[in-house]
C-alpha cells in the first residue's frame, strides 16, 4: 500500500505522541550527552539501555593503581549502545582461562523502563569474582527481568586484582582503588540518575560474593554510607577472612619479584609496576593467586585494605570493618542479607584443623587445635571418620568457614547497630536456572550452590539454551518480587499474593528469623543453629578485636628476599 504524505505525517505524529519514536534516546549527564537504544525483554516489555558510560577518567599511565578521578567531559553525543571494556583479567568463567579486558575499564551501564521523569527506584549491582575477575556485563547480568518490575538497574565495571587492590601504604598508592571505583560509580549515579528517570534518593546497592563484601564496606565507609538507601548482601561479607588482604606490602613485593623486579624498595616497585605491560601484571597476579589459594587458605592476595590516613588523600576505610560495625557506625538503612546452602564445592585438605579460622590464632597441632578438630568431626560428620568422605558434609563445612559463619556473626552485630529492619534468607531452591546445576547434579548433591540465586534475578547468557520449568518461572517471579519490593520500599513482602504468600519477619535481638527460599517459602529461626553457635563460641573465646591492625601501617612488613617459592610464602602468612 502506498501512503500519502498526509498519512506519513499523521503516523509520524502518532508515533511521537506514543513515545515509539524514541528508538535512540539521548540523555544529558554531567559530562555530556549519551545516546542509548530501545531493547525488549523476553516478556515483550521495552526498556532503554545505555551502556559503556564512563564514570571516571581512564586509569592509565601514572593513574594506574590510583583512586579514580572524575570523568572528563566530551563534545557531541556519545554512543552508549555497546558495553565498555571489562577490567583486565584472566577470564575464569571459561575452561580456556585466557586474558581479556583492558585497563581503560571504568564504565557503567544504565537500564531504565522510562526516561520521562517518573523517578523510579534504582538498584546498583556490584559483581563478584574474588576481586580477581568479573564485570557488570549483560552477558552475565542481563537486567531484563528486574527492569520489568519498574526499577532502574545499574551495573558497574571496577578494576580487579592488583590493578584495583595493590597497596603500598603510601599517599600515592594507599590501596582500595577498586573499592573507590565503586564509590565513584555510586556518586555518579547520585548525580545523574534523575536524568534517566531514577530517584537518587532511593538507591539500593546489592552484590554477591566479593560484591557482597564490597556492599557491606560501602555501608560503613564514610564516603558512601549517607548516599545509599538500602543494601542487599549476598553470599559474602566484609567480615569474611578473605574480604581483606593481610600483608599488602609483602603482596606487592611478591608481584614485583614475580615479574622480575629485583628491588624491594617501595618507590622502585611502584615505578616498575607502573611501567610494566598490564597483561604481564594480570598473568603474574594469576600465577600468584590461583583459585586454590583462595579456597585452601581463605585469603585474597589483592583485596581491600584498612588504609592509613594521609593529609589530602580520601580514604575509603581507615578502621577495621569489625570496629565500625561493633561501634554502630553503619548506614542506618534496611538490610537484606543471606546465603545459599552450599556456597563452595571444592576439594580441600582432609585435615580438619585447616578449617579453624586463622584469625582465631589457634596454634596448629596444639591440644586445643586437635580438640576443636575433633568437635568439628562430631558436629559435621557424626564422629565417623569414614563419613569425612561425604561430599555434602565436606562442602557444608567449607561453606560455613568461607561464608556462613561470618554472615551469622555480622547479623548478630547488625541487629545491635541499627534500628532498621534486617531480612535474613537462605536460598536452597534447585532448578534448571541454578548456575551450578550441572556441577552439583554430577556430584549427586541436591542443594543450591554459590551464585545460584542470580539465575533467578538476571537474564544470563550462560543459560540461553536452558528451558526453565513452570516451577523455575514461578521461583524467578518470586525472587524478582522479593528483591524489587525491598528496593522500592525496604520491605520485601509488603503484601501476600500467589507468588509471595508469606510475610518475611525481620531479625530481632531475640530471634534470628530467616526466610527459607526453597520449593516453597517458609519462615524459620537460626538455620544450622547448633553449628553456628559452635563457631560463635569459638569466636567469643579466641577472637580479640584489639589483636588486629588498625591500618596497613601496622601490618608486618617482611622483605621478600629468601628463596622460598612465592606461593608457599604467601600461604605461610595466612
Place of cell 548516599: 227
Place of cell 568431626: 377
Closest CA to 523 of 495, 498, 502, 501: 502
Work out the angle at residue 158's Cα, subtended by the Cα atoms of residues 223 and 407, and round it to the nearest 5 degrees.
Answer: 65
Answer yes or no: are the C-beta atoms of 148 and 458 closer than 8 Å.
no
Per DSSP bridges, beta strands 513-517 and 422-427 are parallel
Quickly list H helices, 367-496: 367-381, 391-399, 405-417, 437-442, 470-489
Give CA–CA dist 235/450, Å, rounded: 7
Out of 49, 135, 167, 209, pick the active-site residue.
209
- Residue 367's SS3 state is helix
- Per DSSP, 355 falls in state G
Phi, psi of 50 (to 5 degrees): -125, 110
Has 49 been annotated as catalytic?
no
Residues with Cβ within 8 Å of residue 277, at least 6 apart in sequence: none
* Other Cβ atoms closer than 10 A to 245: 24
Closest CA to 228 of 408, 490, 493: 490
Side-chain half-sphere CA neighbours of 565 within 13 A: 6
Question: Which residues are catalytically annotated?
Answer: 209
Amino acid at each position: 500500500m502506498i501512503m500519502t504524505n498526509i498519512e506519513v505525517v499523521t503516523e509520524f505524529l502518532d508515533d511521537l505522541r506514543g513515545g515509539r519514536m524514541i528508538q535512540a534516546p539521548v540523555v544529558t549527564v554531567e559530562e555530556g550527552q549519551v545516546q542509548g537504544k530501545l531493547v525488549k525483554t523476553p516478556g515483550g516489555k521495552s526498556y532503554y539501555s545505555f551502556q559503556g558510560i564512563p564514570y571516571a577518567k581512564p586509569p592509565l599511565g601514572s593513574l594506574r593503581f590510583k583512586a579514580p578521578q572524575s570523568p572528563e567531559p566530551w563534545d557531541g553525543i556519545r554512543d552508549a549502545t555497546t558495553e565498555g571494556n571489562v577490567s583486565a583479567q584472566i577470564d575464569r568463567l571459561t575452561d580456556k582461562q585466557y586474558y581479556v579486558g583492558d585497563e581503560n575499564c571504568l564504565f557503567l551501564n544504565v537500564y531504565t523502563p522510562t526516561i520521562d521523569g517518573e523517578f523510579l527506584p534504582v538498584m546498583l549491582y556490584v559483581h563478584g569474582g574474588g576481586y580477581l575477575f568479573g564485570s557488570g556485563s549483560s552477558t552475565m547480568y542481563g537486567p531484563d527481568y528486574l527492569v520489568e518490575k519498574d526499577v532502574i538497574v545499574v551495573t558497574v565495571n571496577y578494576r580487579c586484582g592488583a590493578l584495583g587492590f595493590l597497596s603500598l601504604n603510601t599517599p600515592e598508592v594507599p590501596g582500595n582503588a577498586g573499592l573507590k571505583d565503586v564509590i565513584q560509580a555510586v556518586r555518579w549515579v547520585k548525580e545523574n540518575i534523575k536524568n534517566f528517570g531514577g530517584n537518587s534518593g532511593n538507591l539500593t546497592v546489592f552484590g554477591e560474593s566479593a560484591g557482597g563484601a564490597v556492599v557491606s564496606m560501602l555501608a560503613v565507609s564514610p564516603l558512601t554510607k549517607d548516599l545509599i538507601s538500602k543494601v542487599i548482601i549476598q553470599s559474602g561479607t566484609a567480615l569474611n577472612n578473605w574480604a581483606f588482604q593481610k600483608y599488602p606490602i609483602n603482596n606487592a613485593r611478591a608481584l614485583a619479584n614475580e615479574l622480575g623486579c629485583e628491588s624491594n624498595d617501595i618507590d622502585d616497585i611502584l615505578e616498575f609496576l607502573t611501567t610494566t605491560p598490564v597483561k604481564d601484571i594480570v598473568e603474574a597476579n594469576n600465577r600468584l593467586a590461583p583459585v586454590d589459594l583462595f579456597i585452601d587458605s581463605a585469603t585474597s592476595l589483592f583485596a581491600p585494605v584498612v588504609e592509613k590516613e594521609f593529609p589530602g588523600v580520601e580514604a575509603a576505610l581507615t578502621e577495621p570493618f569489625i570496629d565500625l560495625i561493633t561501634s554502630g557506625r553503619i548506614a542506618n538503612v534496611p538490610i537484606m542479607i543471606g546465603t545459599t546452602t552450599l556456597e563452595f564445592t571444592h576439594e580441600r585438605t582432609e585435615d580438619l584443623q585447616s578449617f579453624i579460622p586463622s584469625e582465631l590464632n589457634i596454634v596448629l597441632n596444639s591440644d586445643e587445635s586437635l580438640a576443636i578438630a575433633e568437635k568439628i568431626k562430631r558436629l559435621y560428620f557424626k564422629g565417623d571418620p569414614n563419613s569425612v568422605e561425604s561430599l555434602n558434609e565436606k562442602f557444608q563445612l567449607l561453606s560455613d568457614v568461607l561464608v556462613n559463619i561470618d554472615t551469622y556473626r555480622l547479623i548478630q552485630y547488625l541487629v545491635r547497630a541499627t534500628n532498621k529492619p534486617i531480612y535474613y534468607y537462605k536460598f536452597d531452591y534447585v532448578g534448571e536456572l541454578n548456575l551450578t546445576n550441572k556441577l552439583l547434579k554430577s556430584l549427586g548433591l541436591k542443594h543450591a550452590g554459590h551464585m545460584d540465586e542470580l539465575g533467578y534475578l538476571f537474564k544470563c547468557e550462560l543459560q540461553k539454551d536452558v528451558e526453565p520449568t513452570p516451577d523455575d518461572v514461578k521461583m524467578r517471579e518470586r525472587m524478582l518480587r522479593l528483591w524489587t519490593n525491598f528496593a522500592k520500599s525496604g520491605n520485601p513482602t509488603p503484601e501476600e499474593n500467589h507468588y509471595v504468600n508469606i510475610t518475611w519477619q525481620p531479625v530481632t535481638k531475640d530471634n534470628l528469623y530467616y526466610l527459607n527460599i526453597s520449593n516453597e517459602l517458609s519462615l524459620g529461626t537460626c538455620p544450622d543453629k547448633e553449628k553456628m553457635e559452635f563457631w560463635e563460641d569459638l569466636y567469643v573465646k579466641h577472637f580479640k578485636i584489639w589483636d588486629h591492625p588498625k591500618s596497613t601501617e601496622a601490618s608486618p612488613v617482611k622483605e621478600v628476599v629468601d628463596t622460598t617459592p612465592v606461593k608457599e610464602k604467601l600461604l605461610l602468612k595466612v
